[in-house]
Structure 1
Amino acid sequence: MAEATLVVGAMWGDEGKGKMIDVLSSKVQLCLRGQGGHNAGHTIVAGGTTYDFHLLPSGLVNPKCVNLIGSGCVVHVPSFFKELEDVKKKGLKTDDRIYISDRAHVDFDLFQAVDGLEEIELGKESIGTTKKDLDSPTFSSKAARSGMMIADVFDYDILEVKLRRLEDGYRKRFGDLLKYDVEEELERFKGYIEKLQPYVIDEVPLLRSAKQQKAKILVEGAQAIMLDISFGTYPYVTSSNCSVGGILAGLSLDWRSIKEVIGVVKAYTTRVGSGPFPTEQLNPTGEKLQQTGHEVGVTTGRKRRCGWLDLVVVKYSHEVNGYTSLNLTKLDILDDFETLEVATSYVHPSTGEALDSFPANGKVLAGVEVRYETLKGWKSSTFGAKRWEDLPTEARDYVEFIEKFVGVKVKYIGTGPDREHMIYRDSLPV
């Protein structure tokens, strides 16, 4: 039996999953993506070089790791090739190390044009998508059974009929607002067919072989649980399932192979796009977190909204995903605070009663009163710390408070951007 470790975001994304994935991928034979597309963003700093991954699995940084974009993903082919060229220019060798499942769905330029128009239609109620082609139209077409799998593009006749049908439907809806040339995209795909062929495989035999060889597998989550279409802050979510269950639905991975689920938690809270954010600090504290933490989206370039650590979110996330351990990131960003506020409960805006869990109702969530615990800051540098004993007492208290509240051990603590900036309180699971 193969052994799999899942690394997933426990908040609204941008928790810093890339470094944990980078560390683990050096010890595995396979790195898999099971959901999302190129609107994801993972940053890895290795050997002084910064790599920004979007669609490609971050395991490409490590030369012995084979990487798969799985069946639950959507693939924007031009972005795939551009990202591949970008990492090659930085010295990464990708030959025979990156594959796409033939069951993954195609994310056309048509969908990017439509995504922007759908946001315009929503007006003040816009979701705040990345406009990166897929927050709605690609997954909508998949669910409506009008989309196309990667396997379909190798039959040009099928590709042409289906893409023209999609374009015609959107043209009837949006009219002249749809600025898109179907002829141009069809012509480009003629060139992609041969170029794409070496990367496309049936993922089932690959994972069957991994199982037979008792391979070590890393599964890389994109986005995070609070952006999950079923368990997130709907409708301000992505269009795929970012939970453990959703990721497994996008891969032919035997559930019995899962040995570890690592939830990645930032030492404070951030999110991008629209939607309720109970602990957001629209004040100098939020600005300080944003500037000190360099909180700018890898994919979009948007400034992230920032606030205090929300343990209501993290505990809810654990109850949905079932973490075996936590990776706390960016602890060093809190080095210069006298005190730290940590959200521990929400109070219903109408009844005044403490809520039992994270609420589904957006209006309730937007109006909750947040109850905080105040913890003492440490006012000294933790940057680059590599041992638990090197942390100030107050920093250790902060970590232990998180552990006790969530009920999961914080085994890994990030103290800076480099892969070496990590405290290990336990051995790695692979």
Structure 2
Amino acid sequence: MAQSVVILGTQWGDEGKGKIVDLLAHEADAVVRFQGGHNAGHTLVVGGRKTVLHVIPSGVLTDRARCLIGNGVVVAPHALIEEIRGLEANGIEVRPRLGISPACPAILGCHEALDRAKERSRGKKAIGTTGRGIGPAYEDKASRLGLRLADLADPARLADKLDAVIDYHNFLLTRYYDADPVDGQQIADDAARQGEELKPMFADVTGELHDLRRAGRAILFEGAQGSLLDIDHGTYPFVTSSNTTVGGVMTGAGVGPGDIDYVLGITKAYATRVGSGPFPTELDDADGRMMAERGVEFGATTGRPRRCGWLDAVALKRMVRINGITGLCITKLDVLDAFDRVRICVDYEGVDGFPVGAEEWSRARPVYEDMPGWDGDTQGLTDADKLPAAACAYLDRLEELIEAPVHMLSTGPERDANVILRHPFG
């Protein structure tokens, strides 16, 4: 029986992780975020009511799970506090159940200003960031310049460290990016107030996780974005600033490889991408538009329309291997119900080996294998025996191509719209 389960996206994000985390969180004693920031969004639909979470783990909508934010997450204090207050306004108790690592890097107003200035300067080569300061905060972390949440909660440390950060960022903003400077005193005042509000929720997240493990408790690690956006293994430089693959669990939460029992990869039955960057199977035709319409493909955090295309088994197989995927959950299978023909990319032309960056990815031309569509409606199904035969054939072929089993299907946005072939927690 699995005790610790990791949920990861295997594509470019937006695979439907939030719903699956919410489903499995009811079996967990703790749900943990370990990387990324509030540029991610997990959409949950429970009882017809939609909730979008950005930093707080999806287990907050359960009755018992401890919600933990590990040191690998970059935290914008104002965004986290706003999210907490929004949940509380809807009658959801948050603060007693939320534990935040004080080692989380803090995203300040200067990071957000710098993020937006960088994107503007790139022009047509813009990466497509959300402008929320994620990248600059990770840059400051790597350069050992950035502040942590612990610094915000200590007035003496905040005063000692913040001036250098503001001076450096304002130099870049005004002298390099020709942008307006930020108000350092306003940032300092905001940071002190936010640090005071967050301090009661500080926790030794790593220590708690090891105690839970020793006690035999169920732990769910919740990934953000998707594996093809990993800073090391994705379509660089059109990636996020953190490790979205399974290695991020170890560094971002402080656990070891032996503390992970099962890795669930979330995969759409087709593929989508938000923002810029290569996308070999992208469709700019009626099929792509029908996918977007049927799948309601708009970003949970940004509202940006998602680009759509056929499932890419070449990239998926690579992510299965990198993450040591135990089993897959295929989401939005019902979106393909309307297609007379479904396609799977089984190879690339134009590149030698697997692409290592955007330049190689942009030359990759998909080689498709066509399969018949299915005459049936899969939306809302919970019984595997009721799946159309052609849909089963599609899933069987996918398993052969990527060398990993399908353990779950998500057949709609509601929490109970699933076909569970093998439960990750056993």
- The interval holding the TM-score normalised by the smaller chain is over 0.9
**8 A contact 1:325–1:410 mirrored in 2:** yes
Residue of structure 2 equivalent to 1:187: 189
Q: Which runs of 4+ in 1 moved over 6 A?
A: none
The one-letter code matched in structure 1 to 2:167 is: D
1:208 Cα offset (Å): 2.9
Residue of structure 2 equivalent to 1:18: 18
1:154 Cα offset (Å): 1.9
Could you tell me which of 361, 386, 389 is aligned with 1:390?
386
1:198 Cα offset (Å): 1.1
CA distance in 2, matches of 1:83, 1:227: 25
Residue of structure 2 equivalent to 1:325: 327
Residue of structure 1 equivalent to 2:146: 147
Could you tell me which of 399, 402, 420 is aligned with 2:398?
402
Partner of 2:83, secondary structure, is: helix
Size of the alignment, in residue pairs? 423
1:133 Cα offset (Å): 1.4
CA distance in 2, matches of 1:256, 1:39: 30
Partner of 2:305, secondary structure, is: coil
**8 A contact 1:2–1:213 mirrored in 2:** no
The one-letter code matched in structure 1 to 2:46 is: A
**8 A contact 1:2–1:257 mirrored in 2:** no
1:179 Cα offset (Å): 4.6
**8 A contact 1:120–1:126 mirrored in 2:** yes
CA distance in 1, matches of 2:173, 2:101: 32
Q: How high is the TM-score relative to the length of structure 1?
A: 0.95
Moved more, 54-63 or 419-428: 419-428
1:362 Cα offset (Å): 2.2
CA distance in 2, matches of 1:193, 1:173: 26
**2:193 maps to 1:196:** no
1:390 Cα offset (Å): 0.9
CA distance in 1, matches of 2:161, 2:106: 12
- For structure 1, the 5+ residue unaligned runs are 350-354
Residue of structure 2 equivalent to 1:352: none
**8 A contact 1:109–1:185 mirrored in 2:** yes
CA distance in 1, matches of 2:48, 2:300: 18
CA distance in 2, matches of 1:414, 1:2: 21
- For structure 2, the 5+ residue unaligned runs are none
**8 A contact 1:37–1:54 mirrored in 2:** yes
Post-superposition CA distance 1:122-146 (Å, at most 9, x none): 2221111011111x20000000000
CA distance in 2, matches of 1:193, 1:319: 40
CA distance in 2, matches of 1:256, 1:173: 43
Residue of structure 2 equivalent to 1:221: 223
1:68 Cα offset (Å): 0.5
Partner of 1:342, secondary structure, is: strand
Q: How high is the TM-score relative to the length of structure 2?
A: 0.96
1:197 Cα offset (Å): 1.5
CA distance in 2, matches of 1:185, 1:206: 32
Residue of structure 2 equivalent to 1:366: 362
Residue of structure 2 equivalent to 1:258: 260
Post-superposition CA distance 1:34-61 (Å, at most 9, x none): 1111111111111222110111110111
Residue of structure 2 equivalent to 1:119: 119
For the aligned residues, what is the CA RMSD? 1.5
**8 A contact 2:329–2:408 mirrored in 1:** yes
CA distance in 1, matches of 2:2, 2:402: 29
The one-letter code matched in structure 2 to 1:209 is: D
Post-superposition CA distance 1:62-87 (Å, at most 9, x none): 11000111011111001001111222
1:427 Cα offset (Å): 3.1
Residue of structure 1 equivalent to 2:212: 210
Could you tell me which of 420, 426, 429 is aligned with 2:425?
429
CA distance in 1, matches of 2:114, 2:95: 34
C-alpha change, 1:316 and 1:2, in structure 2 (3 Å) is: closer
Post-superposition CA distance 1:348-404 (Å, at most 9, x none): 25xxxxx44x31142222122210000101142111011111111111111111111
**Percentage of matched positions with identical amino acids:** 37
Post-superposition CA distance 1:5-44 (Å, at most 9, x none): 0000000000001111111110110101111111111111
The one-letter code matched in structure 1 to 2:312 is: D
**2:111 maps to 1:129:** no
